[in-house]
Structure 1
Amino acid sequence: MKDDILENYRTAGSLASRILREGAQGIRVGASYLDLVESIEARVKNEGAALAFPLNLSLNEDAAHDTASPGDERVFHKGDVAKLDLGVQIDGYIADTAVTVDLGNNSLLLDASKEALEAAIRAIKPGVHAGTLGAAIQQEIERRGYRPVSNLTGHGLGQYVQHGPPTIPNVGTGGGTVIEEGMVFAIEPFATTGSGRVGEKSRAEIYSQISNRPVRIPAGRTILEKIRDRRGLPFSRRWLLEKKLDLALPALVRSGTLHVYPVLADIPGSLVSQHEHTVIVTSDGCLVTTR
């Protein structure tokens, strides 16, 4: 890996780690969901970096892909389990990291995903199969009495690529990609009190551009112009102020121009915790960029 690329990964990781750690302190009973999301996103820009994706803030059974909507009036409540997932990029090189904040009495659940992450990191070295990392994750979560979320995975990272190979499972698969020196990927164990699988909710706030097809709707063309500098990385509906937004976004999805990311959730009433780091594989282990 070239020195300048490595430096971008490391700088993005250091920023993401610090901003996530400090931002998580704002999750407290009665605090505004929207204010927290916008303040953390603004901090990334004020540091001279850019967001790899809208800040994900997912509560309780919601595992991923939620963020504040325009005018969001939600506040945090006692008992909430809040997942804060931040992506920072410098010249397209991404640091992806997440932490869970407990406003109830769920420390063991949080410990399950946190220790699963650390176990996977310890297992990384060239020649190991991705399934071995999944087995380490599964073991740590299950021995605490919870289930890993089997249909969410860690993922490779590249320049302006948020989800690429290799896939890092959260359960033991007995195989998978062979880990190689120089690979960059995010490991993100999810531990749940629910079914161990997530499904899609109707709520959707995050989108990404996946094609450059001609667009006839004027509001749609304006949206694509505004997100051009995203280079395919996800964006939030909240970032757009276009009239007829609620008509234009579904039309762009139907045409195959945009991809939509619905909120992913386990069964109602369950609780999900998540922890995540970005790693670069070295000759004898890995460098964790988001410590």
Structure 2
Amino acid sequence: VEIGGKTYQVKPIRNLSGHSIDSYRIHAGKSVPIVKGGDQTKMEEGEFFAIETFGSTGKGWVYEGDEVSHYMKRWEARGTNARLPRARQLLNTIQQNFGTLAFCRRYLDRIGETKYLLALKNLVECGEVDPYPPLIDNAGCFTAQWEHTLVLRPSCKEVLSRGDDY
């Protein structure tokens, strides 16, 4: 790829993959690797998948950054692990506004939540909410992601994310 007049080699990010999708469950269990590795998982008719490719001008391997930027309520979370009343209240707000879809602290601010950091930390610590820190390759490298969503029909795959701009 050429960026600013300079040519960079792009490598696949080997430790990221696509995944199966269910209703309100963005990561539903099956993985779709972007590099060959011996995975024998089979896709089945009626299943939905996010087919993702990730590229980097760095090492092609990412690690989690320090500061968490996004969160997601766990699919199986019921609030029974949250001990703090404020944490249970926040979990209820998360369920009502986001369900199991990803959100960031800015979204909590927009819906009027205040003084929630300790409660959010408690929800992460007790396993009700998963933290999603940024994924980082080498400093100064460029990374990119491309994705299509598809469903497997009896005789073909149907790309659901295809449009005029994609």
- Give the TM-score normalised by the residue count of structure 1: 0.48
1:223 to 82, 90, 98: 90
Give the deviation of 1:108 after TM superposition. 7.7
- Which blocks of at least 5 consecutive residues in structure 1 are unaligned? 1-101, 110-144
Amino acid across the alignment from 1:105: G
Amino acid across the alignment from 1:253: V
Q: Deviations over 1:54-104 (max 9, x none)?
A: xxxxxxxxxxxxxxxxxxxxxxxxxxxxxxxxxxxxxxxxxxxxxxxx9x5
Amino acid across the alignment from 2:25: V
Give the deviation of 1:170 after TM superposition. 1.1
1:281 to 132, 149, 152: 152
- Counterparts of 1:157-196 in structure 2 under 5 Å? 157-196=21-60
Describe the shift of the 1:257–1:180 C-alpha distance in structure 2 as closer, same or farther (beyond 3 A).
closer
Mapped partners of 1:285, 1:214: distance in 2? 43
Mapped partners of 1:273, 1:106: distance in 2? 18
Mapped partners of 1:216, 1:106: distance in 2? 55
Amino acid across the alignment from 2:47: M
Q: Secondary structure at the match of 2:65?
A: strand
Q: Retained in 1: the 8 A contact 2:51–2:149?
A: yes
- Which blocks of at least 5 consecutive residues in structure 2 are unaligned? none
Q: Deviations over 1:111-147 (max 9, x none)?
A: xxxxxxxxxxxxxxxxxxxxxxxxxxxxxxxxxx421
Describe the shift of the 1:108–1:274 C-alpha distance in structure 2 as closer, same or farther (beyond 3 A).
farther
Q: Please list every run of at least 4 consecutive aligned residues from structure 1 whose deviation after the TM superposition is greater than 4 angstroms.
A: 106-109
Q: Secondary structure at the match of 1:248?
A: helix
Q: Retained in 1: the 8 A contact 2:81–2:126?
A: no
Mapped partners of 1:235, 1:108: distance in 2? 35
Q: Retained in 1: the 8 A contact 2:82–2:122?
A: no
Q: Secondary structure at the match of 2:69?
A: strand
Give the deviation of 1:214 after TM superposition. 4.7
RMSD: 2.4
Mapped partners of 2:53, 2:65: distance in 1? 21
- Give the TM-score normalised by the residue count of structure 2: 0.81
Q: Percent identity?
A: 35
Q: Deviations over 1:18-57 (max 9, x none)?
A: xxxxxxxxxxxxxxxxxxxxxxxxxxxxxxxxxxxxxxxx
Describe the shift of the 1:168–1:107 C-alpha distance in structure 2 as closer, same or farther (beyond 3 A).
farther
Amino acid across the alignment from 1:186: A
Q: Retained in 2: the 8 A contact 1:205–1:238?
A: no
Mapped partners of 1:273, 1:174: distance in 2? 25
Q: Retained in 2: the 8 A contact 1:189–1:276?
A: yes
Q: Retained in 2: the 8 A contact 1:219–1:244?
A: no
Aligned length: 154
Mapped partners of 1:183, 1:259: distance in 2? 24
Question: Quick check: 177-186 or 265-274, which moved more?
Answer: 177-186
